[in-house]
Amino acid sequence: MREYTTQMDAARKGIVTPEIKAVAEKEHMTSEALMKLVAEGKVAICANKNHTCLNPEGVGSMLRTKINVNLGVSRDCKDYDIEMQKVMSAVNMGAEAIMDLSSHGDTQPFRRKLTSECPAMIGTVPVYDSVIHYQRDLATLTARDFVDVIRMHAEDGVDFVTLHCGITRKTIEQIKKHKRKMNIVSRGGSLVFAWMSMTGEENPFYEYYDEILDICEEYDVTISLGDACRPGCLADASDVCQIEELVRLGELTKRAWAHNVQVMVEGPGHVPLDQVAANMKIQQSICMGAPFYVLGPIVTDIAPGYDHITSAIGGAVAAMSGAAFLCYVTPAEHLALPNVDDVKQGIIASKIAAHAADIAKGVPGARDIDDKMAEARQKLDWEAQYACALDPEHAKAIRDSRSPEEDHSDTCSMCGKFCAVRSMNKALAGEYIDIL
């Protein structure tokens, strides 16, 4: 029987949990320093007590930026084996979290497989699962049904749940009055909005928030406060609907912390590049430094097929400006469920964004690998370069497919004998430089 409920409760009591100790070591900080941040809510260690194979990670703006990979079956792609393949390849490529967004069939066996075999943090969106679990139309579900699904996910070992608690009946009027270009583009947010519209009742995740907090405290589930009104296009960014919801998310953060429940706050969305940093600052101020979890942000609306790039640009600026957690975006965003290759492209793009931000933020040790790469490049040591690369196989495959000629095989075919590195190494060593 442990002497604390959640990681936040332990930190406030001065107890160094195994998770706090492990995360402190990974982040090159003392357990005491980390405990203070967890106690204040500035770092969340998402660690359900039933997720026993978890390799814990901390999420906070002063720590390494973490990335999440969304997976799960849908009516159009229902192969759980392929999803499990994606999970394992995502973990091998360095994803710290997997969100299971399954919305077809019996979702529980896959969710339990994740929390018994996957060492990454596991997140879910219980409102997606509610319709599937009960096999009833949305309008027939009750507030009790939604709360019971949250409990089921908590018992299954899910580390964090996205809950769209921030929209209320007032939001219905706001959305109608404000006439956004893209209305609500959050899947969970649109379901809650639709349920409120059809039943005439208040948002159950808002109305029964205290009961939900009790469940989250019991299992140590972190609440990821969903942003139902995140902008779905540049024109809707930073508008009154988004900011009004954010203010409510700030209030809900405070209430969760009073229950020792850890919180992350989800963020935009589609945002012009010049508004990204400002959005991070506003969130940090309204939500008192709670970790910010951003989807993208996507910085232009015109690149379907390449949204892993539009989001990596926004993600790098967001993480450099205070976001703690990046939700990956794949080339299939806005078009289709991602396949195995899309997942890989999305992870690499997010890892680049997160790493670039960590260097800019001065996270201890973040640049070490870049310095190693520079040394390997200066020596034209290709094996050492692959060892530093985010995707060694891809780098090697490109070089091998276009090798330089034998008499300058230490270079690459980009400049061949004109290789600046080779010329400088030879010049500084006093050697003859053959160019022809």
Nearest approach, Cβ of residue 428 and ligand SF4 (Å): 15
| Largest distance between two CA atoms of the chain | 84
Least spacing, CB of residue 206 vs ligand SF4, in Å: 56
Using CB under 6 A as the binding rule, whether residue 435 contacts ligand SF4 is answered as no
d(CA 26, CA 64): 9
Q: Does 388 bind ligand SF4 (CB under 6 A)?
A: no
Closer residue to ligand SF4 in complex, CB, 316/419? 419
Q: For the CA atoms of the chain, what is the radius of gyration?
A: 23
In terms of CB distance, is 1 or 420 closer to ligand SF4? 420
Structure tokens at 95: 């994803």
| 384 contributes a contact to ligand SF4 by CB under 6 A | no
Minimum CB–partner distance for residue 310 and ligand SF4 (Å): 27
In the complex, minimum distance from the CB of residue 417 to ligand SF4, in angstroms, rounded to a whole number: 9
> Which of 175/373 has CB closer to ligand SF4?
373
Of 1, 258, 302, 420, the one binding ligand SF4 by CB under 6 A: 420
**CA 132/CA 295 separation, integer angstroms:** 24
Q: How many residues bind ligand SF4 (CB under 6 A)?
A: 7
Residue 143 vs 421, nearer CB to ligand SF4: 421
351: left (phi over 0), alpha (psi -120 to 50) or beta: alpha
State the minimum distance, in angstroms, from the CB of residue 416 to ligand SF4.
6
Pick the closest to residue 205 from 132, 126, 133 (CA basis): 126
Query: Which DSSP state fits 430?
Result: T
* Cβ 235 vs Cβ 262: under 8 Å: no
Q: Is 428 in the site for ligand SF4 (CB under 6 A)?
A: no
Stretch near ligand SF4 under the rule CB under 6 A, chosen from 83-91, 161-169, 180-188, 417-425: 417-425
**C-alpha closest to that of 167 among 91, 252, 237, 82:** 252
Q: Are 130 and 146 in contact (CB under 8 A)?
A: yes
The letter for the amino acid at 182 is M
Q: Which helix (H) or strand (E) holds 121?
A: strand 121-124
Q: Report the nearest approach of ligand SF4 to the CB of residue 133 (Å).
A: 55
* CA-wise closest residue to 59 among 300, 353, 354: 354
| Sign of the torsion angle spanned by Cα atoms 78, 81, 85, 87 | positive
- 426's enclosing H/E stretch is helix 420-428
d(CA 266, CA 297): 11
Which residues are CB-contacts of 297 (< 8 A; sequence separation ≥ 6)?
267, 268, 269, 270, 271, 276, 279, 311, 314, 315, 318
Q: Are 168 and 248 in contact (CB under 8 A)?
A: yes
Establish if 415 lies at the interface with ligand SF4 (CB under 6 A).
yes
- The correct pick among 334, 395, 421, 425 for binding ligand SF4 (CB under 6 A) is 421
For 409, counting Cβ atoms within 10 Å of its Cβ (0-12 exposed, 13-18 middle, 19+ buried), the class is exposed
Minimum CB separation of residue 430 from ligand SF4 in Å reads 20
Question: Which of 122, 216, 354, 419 touches ligand SF4 (CB under 6 A)?
Answer: 419
Using CB under 6 A, pick the residue from 278, 397, 398, 414 that binds ligand SF4.
414
Residue in the structure block whose two tokens are 């919801």 = 245
Q: Looking at beta carbons only, is 360 or 412 nearer to ligand SF4? A: 412
Token pair of 258 as six digits: 């009073």
224 lies in the binding site for ligand SF4 (CB under 6 A): no
Residue closest to 98 by CA, chosen among 56, 70, 78: 70
Q: Which range binds ligand SF4 by CB under 6 A, 62-70, 106-114, 136-144, 407-415?
A: 407-415
User: Which among 151-159, 271-279, 325-333, 418-426 is the span making contact with ligand SF4, rule CB under 6 A?
Assistant: 418-426
Q: Which is nearer to ligand SF4, 32 or 381 (CB)?
A: 381
Strands 325-327, 292-295: pairing is parallel
Least spacing, CB of residue 88 vs ligand SF4, in Å: 34
Least gap, CB of 212 to ligand SF4 (angstroms)? 55
Q: Give the nearest distance from C-beta 380 to ligand SF4 in angstroms.
A: 6
Q: Smallest distance, Å, CB 360 to ligand SF4? A: 25
> Which residues bind to ligand SF4, rule: CB under 6 A?
411-412, 414-415, 419-421
